[in-house]
Amino acid sequence: MNTDKPLGAALLVLGAGGVISAAQISVRTFNNDPGPKLFPMMACAILIICGLGLLLRKSNRVTPAIPATEWRRGLTMAGLLVGYALGLWLVGFHAATFIGGFALYWAIAGPEKRSLMRGAIYALLLTLGVHLVFKTMLGTFLPQGFLF
């Protein structure tokens, strides 16, 4: 079953709805910078371009069925992202990002490449890197935990 056309149509509708929603944002800025409209509009423009690309592309290839193991792995990663969002709310940025980064590494690496030390190092570097960019360089507030 080829899902390129329905996916392209969905991306096109999602992108158009996002552009319409972002156009309604009105925030006064000090020096006429684009403010909070720019990023959503750029992201939605990318969705529209990708949707048009999928709709206009000729496709005469047959896509194979996705194996059950890949479905489980994808659903596991989606569940981990939902768990990360809940973790941000419960325990805050630092703990949730370290645990979530390690869990995503564990799911992506697969059984043959997993290493506790490597996963911990990746998770620590991810947490420190995101902290450095957002907290230190951009001066944004990182989520504080409900429990801690």
Mean pLDDT of all residues in the chain? 87
DSSP the chain: ---HHHHHHHHHHHHHHHHHHHHT-----SS---GGGHHHHHHHHHHHHHHHHHHHS---PPPPPPPHHHHHHHHHHHHHHHHHHHHHHHHBHHHHHHHHHHHHHHHHH-TTT--HHHHHHHHHHHHHHHIIIIIIIS-PPPPBPS--
Count of domains in the chain?
A: 2
Domain membership flag for residue 148: no
132 lies in the same domain as 72:
yes
Domain membership flag for residue 97: yes
22 lies in the same domain as 74:
no
Q: Which domain holds residue 14?
A: 4-56
Question: pTM here?
Answer: 0.61
Domain membership flag for residue 73: yes
At 27-50, the pLDDT tens digits run 766 666 666 778 888 999 999 999
113 lies in the same domain as 76:
yes
At 47-83, the pLDDT tens digits run 999 999 988 888 776 767 778 888 888 899 999 999 9
21 lies in the same domain as 50:
yes
Domain membership flag for residue 145: no
Domain membership flag for residue 61: no
51 lies in the same domain as 93:
no
CA 118 to chain CA mean position, Å: 23
Q: Which two tokens stand for residue 33?
A: 């910078």
Average confidence (pLDDT) over 84-99 = 94
Domain membership flag for residue 49: yes
